[in-house]
Amino acid sequence: MTQVQYSSVNVGDEIPLLKEKPVSRFTLTLYAGASGDHNPIHIDLDFARKARMPDVFAHGMLSAAYLGRLLTNWVPQRQIRNFSMRFTGITQLGNVPTCTGKIVEKFEADGEKRVRLQIRCSNQYGEEKLAGEAIVALP
């Protein structure tokens, strides 16, 4: 991987997007096991219906993990200083998580060069599911 340099990025630049496979029941079952989040609303249709949801739906933290991959595909993880997000919509079965990031600020703090990114995860219809930001140090 070629190292991203502070001098070679500009405010307004988009980082390479991450497009995932459609969310399936299998995706959610694997994520439940691997994450330790066993909330039945994500894996048990009967429970979801009793909670008056039409079906099971994705863990917010699954999409958060995809946003994490968006960042670590771009820079080594040790350069990530801060990563925050709001869950703005429910990711349904069949949704295609699509993560994007845009540089919105270049600045210096704690003796290092950093960029602030606006990050977003939406589905294939452009409906936003997660929105947030990340601060990344660049050499």
Partner 1 sequence: MPDRSLIGRSLGETTVEVEKGRLRFFAKAIGETDPVYTDEAAAKAAGYKSLPVPPTFLMCLGGEGRDLEEQLKIYGFEVARILHAEQAFDYHKPAVAGDVLTFSTSVADVYEKKGGALQFVVTQTRVTNQDGEHIADVRSAVVQR
Residues found near partner 1 in the complex (CB under 8 A): 20-21, 27, 30-31, 33-37, 39-41, 47, 50-51, 59-62, 64-69, 71-73, 76-78, 80-87, 90, 132
State in angstroms the smallest separation of the CB of 126 from partner 1. 21
The phi and psi torsions of 114 (rounded to 5 degrees) equal -135, 160
State in angstroms the smallest separation of the CB of 122 from partner 1. 17
State in angstroms the smallest separation of the CB of 39 from partner 1. 6
Among residues 19, 17, 20, the alpha carbon closest in space to that of 102 is found at 17
The phi and psi torsions of 94 (rounded to 5 degrees) equal 90, -15
With respect to partner 1, which residue has the nearer C-beta, 8 or 84? Answer: 84
With respect to partner 1, which residue has the nearer C-beta, 11 or 51? Answer: 51
With respect to partner 1, which residue has the nearer C-beta, 2 or 77? Answer: 77
The phi and psi torsions of 8 (rounded to 5 degrees) equal -100, 0
How far apart (Å, rounded) are the C-alpha atoms in residues 120 and 70? 10
Tokens of 113: 């060069």
Contact 26, 56 (CB under 8 A): no
With respect to partner 1, which residue has the nearer C-beta, 59 or 120? Answer: 59
The phi and psi torsions of 80 (rounded to 5 degrees) equal -80, 125
State in angstroms the smallest separation of the CB of 80 from partner 1. 6
